[in-house]
Amino acid sequence: MGHFHTLKGSCHCGNVRYDYDSPVPSADINIRRCDCTFCQKQGAFYTSHPDGRLRVTVKDQGMIRKYRFASLTSETWVCTKCGVFPFFTCDLEGRLYAVLNVNTLDDFQFNRMTVPTLSLGDDPVEKRLARRVRAWIGDVRIEFEN
């Protein structure tokens, strides 16, 4: 596998920190948004790459609230200390997949006006899960310090 381009990010208070190892340079990462009501209310933008790698460190596990909605097949990791959610995860057949909230990357600029909006919310669950296996970050590790 080629070399990675590591991007750092966190929630606002730093309880959740991560390194995203992207197989493509930061200028080329794929960014999208979703037109579901949750994502519209959050104003979230997303990125993922199946060959990407996500390494997460959570200081205080007790401050994490996992929010599920719609098909209930993915979890939103919300830091309850600061209210920011850095990513979604989805556990499929024992493997953890993730999609990152681009707004939580540090020192990362992008043009919000040109980001495409996807309508995925009406897809059947099997189709959504298959898409996650194809498109979400396929190498995810989360460590808890407390």
Sign of the CA dihedral with 96 first, then 19, 115, and 28 last: negative
> What is the C-alpha separation between 66 and 54, in angstroms, rounded?
18
Q: How far is the CB of 100 from Zn ion (least distance, A)?
A: 15
In the bound state, the residue with its beta carbon closest to Zn ion is: 79
Decide: is 24 part of the binding site for Zn ion (CB under 5 A): no
Interface residues for Zn ion in 61-100 (CB under 5 A)?
Answer: 79, 81-82
82-105 per-residue burial string, b: 16 or more CB within 10 A, e: under 16 = eebbbbbbbeeeeebbbbbbbbbb
Decide: is 59 part of the binding site for Zn ion (CB under 5 A): no
Q: Which of 11, 29, 56, 102 binds Zn ion (CB under 5 A)?
A: 11
Question: Using CB under 5 A as the criterion, which residues of the chain lie in contact with Zn ion when the complex forms?
Answer: 11, 13, 15, 79, 81-82
